[in-house]
Amino acid sequence: MSKSYEFVPEPPLVQGNHTFGSITALIGDIPERETPKGWYIAFGVANLLLLLLVALLSYLVWEGLGVWGLNNPAGWGWAIINFVWWVGIGHAGTLISAILFLFRQHWRTAINRFAEAMTIFAVMCAGLFPAFHVGRIWVIYWVFPVPNQMGMWPNFSSPLLWDVFAVSTYFTVSLLFWYVGLIPDLATLRDRVKSKTSRFFYGMFALGWTGSNRHWLNYEKAYMILAGLATPLVLSVHTIVSFDMSVSNVPGWHSTIFPPYFVAGAIYSGFAMVVSLMIISRKIYGLEDIMTVDIMEKMNIIMMVTGNMVAFSYLMEGFMSWYSGYIYERGIFWLYVVGPYAWGFWILMFCNVINPQFMWFKKVRRSVTLTFLVATFANIGMWYERFMIIVASLATDFMPSSWAYYSPTWVDYLTYVGTFGLFFTFFLLFLRFLPMVAISEVKAGLPQADPHYYEEDDQLEGSNGAGSIVIQPNESV
């Protein structure tokens, strides 16, 4: 008696009738193709903002931190908010690459490359702030364990120091991970581009990659290990960032839920940013076939899940502040809700609690515009979350006598805007000169990449492997 199972395959990762060659052409030609006008305009704006950033930071260093809106209870302000926000965004990239790689989620190939790029640039923006928010940046090297004539060393029990190590490690590893991924594609470009200079540079960075399978063997191993290392690293980084708060005793900071809560938040905002960037670049460079709506939907689902994790931690915070019976904790939560910064709290509630719920609807998940909207709100919301945690908690802590309202100065505003200049300057350069999709991985993802694809020709002729396979029970699989 025979039973037969129907196997409904995933929708193909790459849509349209693509061969290896066409994939190469699709992405590999971008540096060769002449650049869209939009790119130049965007790049110009980004550069202006970058200049603004440089100017403001010089002004800051010359005049002193007083030019920011910091005051006595609120010793940290926008600088640290922006830092945490950017680092959070910087999470998606390596996370998508690493975790999804380990979980064999092949749809990652469409987005991992520029997600990683985004990570690197975001972390660069983030890194600026902790450096410039110190009072005497000219001695900031004291945070590194460098032997010196004072015989002094850093204090390894400070979460801030852990942060220094975490963020710099994260940046370095992300950079390596990204570059390793780039090597074969750089080789591809090296072999395509015409001009001598670009051949020289691509050639130099391709390190003479030939596509030898002896090399692929070590390469894949290395990539796998890096992914394995990066995954805990990603989680550790925001955990340690959250230690900056949770290890101290400030009400609203001193809470064990922070690490998971921060990581969830980071993934939430990170994916939001990736989605937005993906939506933009697929439009500009016509990569709809690779960055498909299915992939967008998958990411939206992750956003929804992490968003709800964040919402849950808000709930827990409220509950614990009541349940602990710790009047200072209770006080601060009450102040979030009705205190001087309540407006921030409610913005946050909308963006991080209501907003992700829209993703329950398939229509929203699959609609490009709506997704873009939701993602943007998610990013705004995550900024406000950090604002509430850092400023609101500090400004109204144990000592009512010292409570004071923190108000940023124009320098704060413009510095934040300036960081976008830094981010997009690099990001646009990346889009322009580097393969924004992992060419070799996409190819490897194609059905014809599998040697077995060429057996049983008769059955699979021309169907890109997207047909359904009937498996007989008596067959052993």
Partner 1 sequence: MSKTNENPTYWKSLNQLANNEEYKKFLEREFPENASELKDGMSRKNFLRIMGASIALAGFAACRRPVEKILPYKTRPEEVVPGNPLYYATAMPYRGSLTGLVVETHEGRPTKIEGNTEHPASMGNTNTQMQGAILGLYDPDRAHGITSDGQKKSWDDFLSFAKQNFTSDKKVAFLCEANSSLTLNRLKKDALKKFKNAEWVTYEPFGEQNALEGNNQAFGKKLRTYNHFDKAKVIVSLDADFLQQGSENVTNIGNYTRGRALESTKDSMNRLYAVESNYSLTGSNADHRLRIKNSEVELFTYALAASLADKIGGLEAFKGYNNHFSNHSWVSVLTEDLLNNKGESIVAAGNDQNPAVHAAVAAINMALENKDKTVSYYDVPTFETGNDTQRFYELTRDLKAGKYDALVMIGTNPVFTAPSDLDFSSALKATKTTVLLSQYHDETARQTQWHVNRAHFLEQWGDGTSYTGVKSVIQPMIQPLYGGKSEIEYLYAIINGTSGDGHKLVRETWKSYLSSTNFENQWEKILHDGILPNTEFDTPRVSLSSSFATYMNQAFAQAKKPGDNEIELVIKPDNKIIDGRYGNIGWLQELPDPVTKITWDNVALMSLKTAATFGVKNEDVVSITSGGKTVKLAAWVLPGHADNSITIWAGYGRKGIGRIADDDFGIYVDNKYKTLPFEVHKFESKNVFPFVTTDNPLYHTSVTVKKTGEYYSIASTQDHSSMEGRPLARQGTLDTYREDPHFAPEMEEVAGIEKKSYRKFPDALYTPQEGYDYLPQWGMSIDLNSCIGCGTCTIACQAENNIPVVGKEQVKRGREMHWVRTDRYFIGNDAGDPEIIHQPVPCMQCELAPCEEVCPVAATTHSRTGLNQMTYNRCIGTRYCANNCPYKVRRFNFFNFSKEFLSSGDDPEVIQMAMNPDVTVRFRGVMEKCTYCVQRLNRAQIDRQLETKNQSFKPVDGSVQTACQQACPANAINFGDISDPNSKVVKVKHNERNYIMLDVLNTRPRTSYLAKIRNPNPKMS
Partner 2 sequence: MSQIFPKWANRVPKRLTIGSIVLLNAIIFGVWYFFSPRYLDVGYQPIQPIPYSHAIHAGKLGIDCRYCHTSVEKSPHANIPPTQTCMNCHSQINSKKPKQIAKIRDHWKSGEPIKWIRVNKLPEYVNFNHSAHINAGVGCVTCHGRIDKMQVVHQVEPLNMAWCINCHKNPAPHLRPVSQVTNMNWKAPNGNPEAYGKKIMAARNIHAPTYCDGCHY
Partner 3 sequence: METKENKQLHGILAEFQNPATLLHAAEAVNNAGYNKFDTFSPFPIHGIEKAMGLKKSKLGWIVLGFGLVGLIGAVWLMVWVMSSAMPLSISGKPLIDPPIYVPIAFELTVLLSSFGAVFGMLFLNGLPKPYNPLFNSENFNKASDDGFFLYIESEDALFSEYKTTELLKDAEAVNLEKIYD
Q: Which stretches of the chain bind partner 2, using CB under 8 A?
A: 147-152, 190-191, 199-200, 203, 208
The distance of closest approach from Cβ of residue 261 to partner 1 in the complex, given in angstroms and rounded to an integer, is 19
Q: Which is nearer to partner 3, 167 or 428 (CB)?
A: 167
Regarding 188 and contact with partner 3 (CB under 8 A), the answer is yes
Chosen from partner 2, partner 3, partner 1, none, partner binding at 269 (C-beta under 5 to 8 Å by type): none
Chosen from partner 2, partner 1, partner 3, none, partner binding at 176 (C-beta under 5 to 8 Å by type): partner 3
Chosen from partner 2, partner 1, partner 3, none, partner binding at 134 (C-beta under 5 to 8 Å by type): partner 1
- Terminus-to-terminus CA distance in the chain, angstroms? 19
Q: Tell me, what DSSP letter sits at residue 5?
A: B
Pick one of 58, 72, 195, 218: the residue that binds partner 3 (CB under 8 A).
218
User: Between residue 120 and residue 149, which ones bind partner 3 under the rule CB under 8 A?
Assistant: 145
Task: Indicate if the alpha-carbon torsion angle 242, 243, 245, 249 is positive or negative.
Answer: positive
Chosen from partner 1, partner 2, partner 3, none, partner binding at 148 (C-beta under 5 to 8 Å by type): partner 2
Q: Tell me, what DSSP letter sits at residue 471?
A: B
The distance of closest approach from Cβ of residue 232 to partner 1 in the complex, given in angstroms and rounded to an integer, is 24
Find residue 5's DSSP bridge partners.
Answer: 471
Residues engaged in binding partner 1 (CB under 8 A): 58, 61-67, 69-76, 133-140, 142-143, 150, 152-155, 157-161, 164, 244, 247-250, 326-328, 331, 394, 397-405, 407, 409-410
Q: Which is nearer to partner 1, 20 or 398 (CB)?
A: 398
Q: Write the interaction track for partner 3 spanning residues 227-266; mark x where CB under 8 A is met and - where it is not.
A: --xx-xx--x---x--x-----------------------
Regarding 20 and contact with partner 3 (CB under 8 A), the answer is yes
Q: Residue 150: CA atoms inside 13 Å, Cβ hemisphere, count?
A: 7
**304 residue type, one letter:** M
- Residue pair 411/68 in contact by the 8 Å Cβ criterion: yes
Q: Tell me, what DSSP letter sits at residue 12?
A: P
Q: Which is nearer to partner 1, 151 or 208 (CB)?
A: 151
- Residue pair 67/59 in contact by the 8 Å Cβ criterion: yes
Helix (H) or strand (E) holding 118: helix 112-132
Find residue 471's DSSP bridge partners.
Answer: 5
Residues near 52 by beta carbon (within 8 Å), at least 6 away in sequence: 414, 417, 418, 421
The distance of closest approach from Cβ of residue 151 to partner 2 in the complex, given in angstroms and rounded to an integer, is 3
Chosen from partner 3, partner 2, partner 1, none, partner binding at 78 (C-beta under 5 to 8 Å by type): none
The first and second tokens of residue 369, run together, are 């515009």
- Residue pair 351/378 in contact by the 8 Å Cβ criterion: yes
232: three-class secondary structure by DSSP? helix
